[in-house]
Structure 1
Amino acid sequence: MLIRDIRDGVHERVMDNSLLCELLHPGREAAPTGMRYSIAHARVPAGERTFPHRLKTASEVYYILDGEGCMHIDGETASVRPGQAIYIPPGAVQWIESTAASDLIFLCLVDPMWREDEEELIGR
């Protein structure tokens, strides 16, 4: 059985400027899992945003847990709130900003699993 608890994790500032805590990543587990995807817990502090970036061939889903924000994908913009899932297709330029007085918190699911060489910053 494989269980990860966010309370045991550490959030680190990553390339896109979010604070990220990797929960499950099949390439970093002690035993094979059979998972293709990875999942991370992300936080964008109030008033901050991520840098425009893209995943070259992987798709991504953000699931908003707390806070409010504005999602930008390939020139489209939409307000986001808790309970919403956002699909980000492979190759799409994307960034998200926290628009409330509290942090924007969400899960990031990447399929196939996130790899550093797969992510590309587009601008700051």
Structure 2
Amino acid sequence: MLIRDIRNGSYARAKDRSVLCELLHPAHERECTNRYSLAHAVVPHGEATLPHRLKTSSETYYILAGEGQMHIGDESAPVREGQVVSIPAGATQWIENTGEGDLVILAIVDPMWSEGDEEIL
């Protein structure tokens, strides 16, 4: 059985400048048999991630808290707590925190995130 708790997680700045805690990654846990990886991400107040793309993986953001402006390719839209954003593989993406507090996101990458698949633009 594999159980993770974000209260005990290790957070660090990711290459896209979000503050990230990897919760599940099949390449790092023998018990994890998923195709996808799962991370808890925070974009602090007044900050934004760097434009980036995942070359072959798609990504889904579930907004847990806060408000932001999501940018995918040439499109942009406001996002808030309770919404889901689908980001296709190969799409340039970035998100900015436009709210008063932290923007908190659950990020699901399928197939699992790999460093070689991510490109900071």
TM bracket (short chain) = over 0.9
SS in 2 for 1:83: coil
Give 1:17's aligned residue: 17
- Per-residue deviation, 1:33: 2.7
For 2:26 and 2:102, how far apart are their aligned partners in 1?
28
TM-score, normalised to structure 2, is 0.98
Q: Give unmatched runs, 5+ long, in structure 1.
A: none
For 1:34 and 1:23, how far apart are their aligned partners in 2?
14
- Per-residue deviation, 1:32: 4.4
Q: What does 1:24-43 correspond to in 2, within 5 Å?
A: 24-29=24-29, 31-43=30-42
Q: What does 1:1-124 correspond to in 2, within 5 Å?
A: 1-29=1-29, 31-122=30-121
TM-score, normalised to structure 1, is 0.95
RMSD over equivalenced CA pairs, Å: 0.7
